[in-house]
Amino acid sequence: MITKIVTPTGEIKYVNEQAEIIYDKNGEPELMIGTVLNITERKLTELTIVNLLNEAHSLNEELVVSEEQVRESLEISLKLNEILKAKESELDEAQKIAKLGRWEYDLTTYKIYWSDEIFNIMGIKPEVGTPDFENYFNMIHPDDRDIFNKALYDAINDGIEYSIEMRMYKTDGSLIWTMGKGIAVKNEDGKIIKLIGINVDISDRKFPEIALKQSEELFKALIQNSSDYVQLIDQNGIIIYESPVVENILGYQKMQLISSNFLDFVHPDDLNKAKDSLQAVILNPNESSRVEIRLKDISGNWVWIDSVKTNLLSEQAVNSIVVNNRSISERKKAEDELLASEKKYRTLMESASDGIFLCDRLGNYTSANTTACNMLRYSKEELLKLNFKDVLTKEELTNTPIKFEELFRGDTVISEREFIRKDGTVFTGEISAKMLENNILQSFVRNISERKKAKVLLENQNTELIKINAELDKFVYRASHDLRAPLASVLGLINIAKIEVDKTMKDSYYDLMEKSINKLDGFIKSIINFSRNSRVEYIGEKIEFNNIINDTLEDLKYLQSSHNVTTDIVISEGEFYSDLFRMKLIFNNIISNAFRYSVSMREKAFLNINVVITMQEAVITFIDNGQGIKSESIDRIFEMFYRASETNVGSGLGLYIVKDVIEALNGKIEVQSTYGEGTNFTIKIPNLINKDIV
């Protein structure tokens, strides 16, 4: 409200007083905030303008006279015009000072008249001309148009004088506040013929008022809705004011602690901190002091408080120390739990059987447990000076790049890496890595070298087992067939021989029986050799190649085809050590095949055996000019029970056993053959002269 006051010196002042009462959550008055604005200059200007308008209005009424009176009072009119001009000059000057313009609205012609100052207020050049009613109406803020319409309607229809405040847009789009006052002018018949009035730019007053009101509302909202417990205390710590939140934090009723000393509620262990904080803020005006203390609540329990004090003793409107108290009991509890968790984590980390590494985004190690240090054989101080790239092989970093994209996405990345220890030895580690929220890369590393070896061994054993199972299935099938066929043949010949009376025919049946039995005997020997190769331990001893070859030739004399083949043997000097039993198997099978598949019609059938002995190995070559092997069969001759042609009389196990024996001795065998010309086998067996066979 606007109040007229008299100062102690007797001077008259006009002030604009505004006040706001702040209520607590129960609706009870708690605080009143108010402002007092000196508007004396503005008020005196308004009064001057109103007086001038009234005087001008009176002059206009005096001028409404008859034609005869005008002639008779010409001198009076001229004098009045001079007075009016003088008053208008004074009015114009006052308008400029007060940012006030006058206007007229002729209801008969619907024309609007503006003084120069209204043009200035609205930012329009006078030469542009006064806007019509529609354009003027559009300048009014949409939210204020109803107020203007009602005031205008009441003035035109009922002659009601009005005074309104409204927002208007200037031509440049900026917004101003104006106060408009208008009165109705009637003719001699009492009919309202026009409106006259003033518009005052009150932006300089209105905008600060609005800002002040918004500030007051904001302050009220902050105080009543803040989660902080706000206190005003004097320099001795006496509580002058406290916000309603005290009930939520400490349980005390509003105003209950007023006039108490806040130090009386501080935990004994925190009392010195609280006093030091208060003293520090007193010695440093307009600065803040922060401290974490415990305050006693209404139940006698201690509540952790983050207390921030600001010295505003020099501010006349406040004249106190402002204290913002925030409950941090939950945070303190969380911190204690975190410390306990970290301690537990450290204990688990140090007792973990896996190596645990922490490094930053650049890969520099920031922490590691004892297992990790022992795993890499570094001390903790040494390890924390390294980057993870320092403990990985170059091949790892090149061939298996680290999946940074997945790590930064938050995924857990599991991989196997080759690590380099401090002493240069290498081990295989299984890593489970994840990027934590604080941009720390956490890695769990487990040494899986032994597991890898076991895995490889198991895979090899599985492969061998699969091979053995396949061979066993094939062996059972073929063995049953190759064992039954000779037996069935012998049984058939026996039945025929029983009814045969011709002695010559019986003898031929006996010869056929003998061949079937010899074939069966050869197959059984092959099975025995195959079994012994798989089961007999390896025994390293000196090998006499001459003895092996001669014994083999002697054993194969029963083969008819052996008499047609010329054997040429060349053995170099030197000592050779290997497994005698298995070397005999190799020579027996290769030489017997050379005899069986020789060409009887060939004038000079031969078998050349050449043995070259070195300290590393023995290279054995068998060259014959027998039947040879077809090209489509050469890749399959080492398969179990494979026969290169239907005319083959062998068991199909010979070359399979040879290859199996050579591989068992860590040797190699190669074959070259031309069908119809002959075959060349080259065998390389390691010399175990300085080694033991297990």
Mean pLDDT computed over 606-633: 92
Residue 70: predicted pLDDT: 39
Same domain? For 557 and 694 the reply is yes
Is the pLDDT at 462 greater than 50, yes or no? yes
What are the tens digits of pLDDT across the range 548-570? 999 888 888 777 777 888 899 99
With a pLDDT cut of 90, the percent of the chain lying above it is 24
- Helix or strand run (H / E) with residue 269: none
* 587 against 42, higher pLDDT: 587
Residue 425: predicted pLDDT: 92
CB-CB contact of 673 with 629 (8 Å): yes
**How far is the C-alpha of 605 from the C-alpha of 624, rounded, in Å?**
8
Is the pLDDT at 341 greater than 80, yes or no? no
Task: Calculate helix-pair angle for 503-535, 449-499, nearest 10 degrees.
Answer: 170
Same domain? For 361 and 428 the reply is yes
**How far is the C-alpha of 482 from the C-alpha of 471, rounded, in Å?**
15
Q: How confident is the model at residue 90 (pLDDT cuts 50, 70, 90)?
A: low
Mean pLDDT computed over 285-300: 89
Q: Which of 447, 480, 514 is the last residue of a domain?
A: 447
Q: How confident is the model at residue 264 (pLDDT cuts 50, 70, 90)?
A: very high
Q: Which of 187, 202, 217 is the last residue of a domain?
A: 202
Give the angle subtended at the CA of 429 by the CAs of 425 and 432, to the nearest 5°. 150
**How far is the C-alpha of 327 from the C-alpha of 304, rounded, in Å?**
6
CB-CB contact of 626 with 605 (8 Å): yes
CB count within 10 Å of CB 673 equals 21
Highest mean pLDDT pick, 207-221, 428-442, 615-629: 615-629
Asked if residue 13 belongs to a domain, the reply is: yes
Is the pLDDT at 693 greater than 90, yes or no? no
Same domain? For 356 and 434 the reply is yes
Least confident of 276-285, 345-354, 605-614, 663-672: 345-354
Same domain? For 515 and 545 the reply is no
**How far is the C-alpha of 367 from the C-alpha of 390, rounded, in Å?**
15
Quick one: CA torsion of 232, 236, 239, 243, rounded to 10 degrees?
A: 30
Question: By C-alpha distance, which of 587, 673, 593, 665 is closest to 629?
Answer: 673
Please give the C-alpha separations between residue 644 and each of 475, 641, 649, 655, 675, in angstroms, as whole numbers: 18, 10, 10, 11, 11
* pTM score, whole prediction: 0.34
**How far is the C-alpha of 434 from the C-alpha of 447, rounded, in Å?**
18
Q: What is the CATH number of the domain that holds 15?
A: 2.10.70
Same domain? For 689 and 631 the reply is yes
Task: Calculate helix-pair angle for 74-98, 40-62, nearest 10 degrees.
Answer: 160
Mapping DSSP onto H, E and C, the string for 127-155 reads HHCCCCHHHHHHHECHHHHHHHHHHHHHH
Cα 161 to chain centroid, rounded:
70
Q: How confident is the model at residue 694 (pLDDT cuts 50, 70, 90)?
A: very low
Mean pLDDT computed over 349-375: 88
Question: By C-alpha distance, which of 634, 617, 614, 632 is closest to 680?
Answer: 634
Q: How confident is the model at residue 529 (pLDDT cuts 50, 70, 90)?
A: low
Same domain? For 266 and 374 the reply is no
Q: Which of 512, 535, 558 is the last residue of a domain?
A: 535
DSSP annotation of 174: -
Residue 74: predicted pLDDT: 47
Same domain? For 548 and 575 the reply is yes
CB-CB contact of 551 with 569 (8 Å): no
Q: What is the CATH number of the domain that holds 483?
A: 1.10.287
- Which residues in 311-325 are b (16+ Cβ under 10 Å) and which e? bbbeeeeeebbbbbb
Give the chain's domain count: 6
What are the tens digits of pLDDT across the range 405-460? 888 888 888 888 889 999 999 998 888 888 887 888 888 998 888 888 888 888 88
Asked if residue 216 belongs to a domain, the reply is: no
Same domain? For 556 and 663 the reply is yes
Q: Which two tokens stand for residue 306?
A: 């983050």
Burial of 192 (0-12, 13-18, 19+ CB in 10 A): middle
Asked if residue 605 belongs to a domain, the reply is: yes
- Which residues in 384-412 are b (16+ Cβ under 10 Å) and which e? bebebeebbeeebeeeeebeeeebeeeee
CB-CB contact of 230 with 243 (8 Å): yes
Q: What is the CATH number of the domain that holds 607?
A: 3.30.565.10
Question: By C-alpha distance, which of 205, 224, 208 is closest to 21?
Answer: 224
Q: How confident is the model at residue 8 (pLDDT cuts 50, 70, 90)?
A: confident
CB count within 10 Å of CB 649 equals 10
Is the pLDDT at 119 greater than 50, yes or no? yes
Q: What is the CATH number of the domain that holds 292?
A: 3.30.450.20
**How far is the C-alpha of 567 from the C-alpha of 589, rounded, in Å?**
15
Residue 511, phi-psi category: left (phi > 0), alpha (psi -120 to 50), beta (remainder): alpha
**How far is the C-alpha of 409 from the C-alpha of 263, rounded, in Å?**
51
Asked if residue 212 belongs to a domain, the reply is: no
Same domain? For 547 and 689 the reply is yes
Q: How confident is the model at residue 612 (pLDDT cuts 50, 70, 90)?
A: very high
Asked if residue 232 belongs to a domain, the reply is: yes
Whole-number mean pLDDT of the chain? Answer: 80
**How far is the C-alpha of 637 from the C-alpha of 685, rounded, in Å?**
20
Residue 67: predicted pLDDT: 45
- Which residues in 578-589 are b (16+ Cβ under 10 Å) and which e? bbbbbbbbbbbb
Same domain? For 472 and 594 the reply is no
Asked if residue 365 belongs to a domain, the reply is: yes
Q: φ, ψ for residue 429 (rounded to 5)?
A: -120, 140
Question: By C-alpha distance, which of 205, 209, 213 is closest to 178?
Answer: 205
DSSP annotation of 107: T
Contacts of 196 (CB under 8 A, 6+ apart): 53, 57, 102, 103, 104, 105, 182, 183, 185
Report the DSSP beta bridge partners of residue 606: 566
Asked if residue 134 belongs to a domain, the reply is: yes
Asked if residue 341 belongs to a domain, the reply is: no
CB-CB contact of 156 with 139 (8 Å): no
Q: What is the strand order of the sheet 365-368 is part of?
A: 365-368, 355-359, 441-447, 426-435, 413-420
With H, G, I as helix, E, B as strand and everything else as coil, classify residue 99. Answer: coil
Residue 576: predicted pLDDT: 94
Same domain? For 173 and 255 the reply is no
Question: By C-alpha distance, which of 236, 232, 230 is closest to 275?
Answer: 236
Domain ranges, residue 394: 352-447
Is the pLDDT at 267 greater than 90, yes or no? yes
Question: By C-alpha distance, which of 358, 359, 361 is closest to 369?
Answer: 358
Mean pLDDT computed over 217-239: 75
Mean pLDDT computed over 360-382: 90
Same domain? For 453 and 361 the reply is no
